[in-house]
Chain A
Amino acid sequence: MFDTVLIANRGEIALRVVRTCRDMGITSVVVHSGVDADSAAAQAADRRINIGPADPRRSYLYAPAVIEAARLTGAQAVHPGYGFLSEDPDFATICAENGLVFVGPAAEVMARLGDKSTARRMMADAGLPVVPGSREPVGTADEAAEVARRIGYPLIVKAVAGGGGRGMAVVRDAGALLPTFRATRASAQAAFGDNRVYMEQYLYGARHIEIQVLADGHGNVVHLGERDCSVQRRHQKLVEESPAPELPPGLADRLAGYAVAGCRAAGYRGAGTFEFLVRGAEAAFIEVNSRIQVEHPVTEMVTGIDIVREQLRIAAGEPLGFDQDRVERRGASVECRINAEDPARDFAPCPGTLTGFRAPGGPFVRVDTHAFPGAQARPEYDSLLAKVVTWGQDRDQALARMRRALGELRVEGPGVHTTAGLLADVLDDPDFCAGRHDTTLLDRRAAS
């Protein structure tokens, strides 16, 4: 096992990795930007090192500074968390060239899966169902019109290099196709430095179901069950839970089988997530996330498996310590993402100083947060302040505990609004309570 791991991230996920490092007796080094010097993660780590200014392009996204920090601190491995450099195959390559273990899949595997169009093709070849769409990136208006004729409307135009809900747009009729196609290409170029897009049929009213997998370097692949992440706004998740409620019989097992097969086909190593759209008993693969996910705690709560620990063990070359038969899932877990955003202003980010912050607690409540009184919600970074996670023997109990937890949560600061109130409303939505919700839930609530 590694002596020292460098954590190339910030906020709650950096703190989350620091904690598992401490559990495992590994020295943790957190890199931070100048404005994060007093962050919870920097304070909790065994060591910290300033790698650049607030602008993430000159700090958290600047590979040379991260690598140099690892060299100076004697780290043997780099845990990238999520976002930033976590799915950048070039960064994984640079780590390897500098004798550092990148905690994640091999660079070439990440590159193939990160190209969403290639990933679709690879998974279709491995026998996974995919949504009807373009097999190759769509480069011209004529090609776009041809694909649209074949798959019909509504359709979705997605950036090949996209992810995290960014770089995609829904087209509802032929009149909107070309403007949307061109705009998505332009925004993909701006956001990802890659203007390639592909097109898929848009499954309106589908559920977002994903499978957590772990694969070691010895040919062992296990899945840790599914998560339902259907409560979304602008393709970004707000509430996640495991298991997924009210799935047709056998569907969860079928999705898990697809994920394990996809993992083997890709030569995947590490923790990963296979995402599917589900409508009725139909399911279709959409993409693989080759990193730890924000919503991993709900899986940890029902399986008792520390996914970050498994990531580190796999990266260190150790075999998985259990096979599929040993993965037991108990009860139900829900996560609510508390973002510094104002739902009343179309989820506009609300940076500012937290004059007050009180995390909920009590039985079967877990809060992953980097917030504290006096902390800052910075405009340069993601708006996630806290993840409130509850466990119950069944879904109703987990939801009741979540209602209690959200009631206890206090986030105060001039101009700071959060998603907490909206999430409390979602927890009382009849469709959500019955497990009948899909990805249109928030849009439908907003419209009414």
Chain B
Amino acid sequence: MTGADQQGPAATLAALHAALDRVLHDAPRPPTHVVVRSGGESIELTWSAAVAPPPVPEAAPPAPVEAERQPAASDGHLVRAPLVGTFYAAPEPGAPPFVAVGDLVEAGQQVAIIEAMKLMNPIEADRAGRVTAVLIKNGEGVGYDEPLFELDCDGQG
């Protein structure tokens, strides 16, 4: 942020906070590190690859199998659907999910099921990493190649 401060330190700090509010509002996920200075003005934000799951939109589309359902921009590894079908996060209704946010998964570990043509197809992680987001709700339709999970593979791949 640049520009001469005509209003004094308090006004500068307020302006920096307002700018920070705008950036946080527009950011896809919270930063891990924030610096706000007043003298000489500054605002610095840092994001790491390890992130919390993106906020769930309040009104999810009814059957989002179309390409319109775009995941938030991600710098993690995406585990994608190898076929079109219905996504199941757990081995059976009522059972705990195969994986949850924060879990470490191995390459080849089953993370979901996609049902297609009445066949239950096990979906495996193609890389090792920590689950940072589950991008599809249980029971939703998914298209081919649609992102299902986000993994942080730093030091895990």
Contact = CB atoms under 8 A, between A and B. Distances in A.
A binds B: yes
A69 B83 CA distance: 10
Contacts, number: 52
Interface stretch (B3-11, B46-54, B90-98, B140-148): B140-148
B73 interface: no
B99 interface: no
A50 interface: yes
Nearest to A66: B84
Interface residues of A, number: 19
Nearest to B115: A68
A422 B32 CA distance: 63
B63 interface: yes
Nearest to B67: A37
B144 A50 contact: yes
B107 interface: no
A64 B83 CA distance: 10
A72 B136 CA distance: 15
Given A51-B84, A51-B143, A67 B117 contact: yes
B116 interface: yes
Interface residues of B, number: 15
A64 B117 contact: yes
A410 interface: no
A42 B67 contact: yes
Contacts of B63: 72-74
Interface in A31-78: 34, 37, 42, 47-53, 59, 64-65, 67-69, 72-74
B85 interface: yes
A420 to B, nearest CB: 32
A223 B38 CA distance: 83
A73 B86 CA distance: 11
Interface string B62-101: 0101110000000000000001111000000000000000
Contact of B67 (A50, A59, A73, A74): A50
Given A49-B84, A50-B146, A68 B67 contact: no
Contact of B65 (A34, A42, A73): A73
Contacts of B83: 52, 65, 68
Nearest to A72: B141
Contacts of B144: 34, 50-53, 59, 65
Contacts of A73: 63, 65, 141
Given A67-B117, A72-B86, 6 more contacts: A42-B67, A51-B84, A65-B83, A65-B144, A68-B85, A72-B65
Q: Which 9 A-B pairs have the closest CB atoms?
A: A50-B143, A72-B141, A50-B144, A64-B117, A68-B116, A52-B144, A51-B84, A49-B65, A49-B143
Interface of A: 34, 37, 42, 47-53, 59, 64-65, 67-69, 72-74
23 contacts: A34-B144, A37-B67, A48-B66, A49-B141, A50-B67, A50-B145, A50-B146, A51-B143, A52-B84, A64-B116, A65-B116, A67-B117, A68-B83, A68-B116, A68-B117, A69-B84, A72-B63, A72-B65, A72-B84, A72-B86, A72-B141, A73-B141, A74-B63
Interface of B: 63, 65-67, 83-86, 116-117, 141, 143-146
